[in-house]
Amino acid sequence: MSFPNVRMRRLRRGQKLRDLVAETTLTVNDLLYPMFVVEGSGVRQPIPSMPGIDRFSVDRLVEECKAVADLGIPAVMFFGIPDKKDALGRGAYADNGIVPKALRAVRRAVPDLLLVPDVCLCEYTDHGHCGIVEKNDVHNDATLELLAKAATAYAKAGADMVAPSDMMDGRVEAIREALDEAGFEHLPIMSYAAKYASAFYGPFRDAAESAPQFGDRRSYQMDPRNGAEALREVALDIEEGADIIMVKPALPYLDILSRVREAFDLPLAAYNVSGEYAMIKAAAQQGWLDHDRAMMEALTGIKRAGADIILTYFAKEAAVLLNGGRK
């Protein structure tokens, strides 16, 4: 059948009708909010390249997490920025490091919020790379032990899940074995399984002070030209024990997200990264697009492509709209 018997516009004539037949529904429960935590007290420091996003000291982080939970956002991710960095990234796995301190404080104050610390070394190393550097090269196998120590430290401090983002080969298995040995066999791993060497991480590196001091991360993060390789990476992480898999970034890699969704039945996350966030913010500030519509369209596109979980700096603003409120 065709026009005039079929008129596709019939089901688009009103908002309630459009809502009734919508194929994709974005909810607050889909959102995970990334946050930056620093040493000190009373600190709420704006990040210029990420308007609306701040670095928090632990005391102010607790206040912010209460506000996040009040919006119905189920989960947060912590990125720690230590006062001191060194070649081995010791702050990442110290029991009294910035992330364990944040986990303990937020767990006490907001017990129902899911706490998902990122597991990596880049914020903690003085060279800015995600692992141990030997002769200007990131040593894969030597890094695994440190990542496992970090994941275990976070588990002991109250994490509900850990999320390794380093892209070292074998790190999921190393973390799984360490968690199990420490009695945390119940703790899930959300693996950054297909993480690309992307230009869209720039604002994050400003926020986390984690830009590499030499070279780049293309020897361990994925080549943006490759798609089939992402399926291999995901399959390997699942084999090693990943419970949730992630594609990062989101918007330039919706095709990868869709291919992973079709190939695997694990819960799937996508990271709407800092550069994606900053572009919409900058364009909206210039009056070039409608901020809220662009934000919700981007997040809905990520959900439509197959994501079950969306890590996004828009989480609070999106939650207000999804809850029926106005900003």
- What residues are labeled active site? 195, 248
What is the rounded distance in angstroms from the CA atom of residue 297 to the CA atom of residue 254?
Answer: 13
Residue 146 exposed, middle or buried by CB count within 10 Å (0-12, 13-18, 19+): buried
Question: Given phi > 0 = left and psi -120 to 50 = alpha, else beta, which region is 116?
Answer: beta
**Hey, what's the torsion of the CAs at 202, 207, 208, 209, to 10 degrees?**
80
Element (DSSP H or E) covering residue 312: strand 309-312
| Exposure of 96 in the CB half-sphere (CA atoms within 13 A) | 1
Tokens for 93? 């796995």
**What Cα–Cα distance (Å) separates residue 285 from each residue in 51, 110, 201, 278, 292?**
10, 33, 20, 10, 12
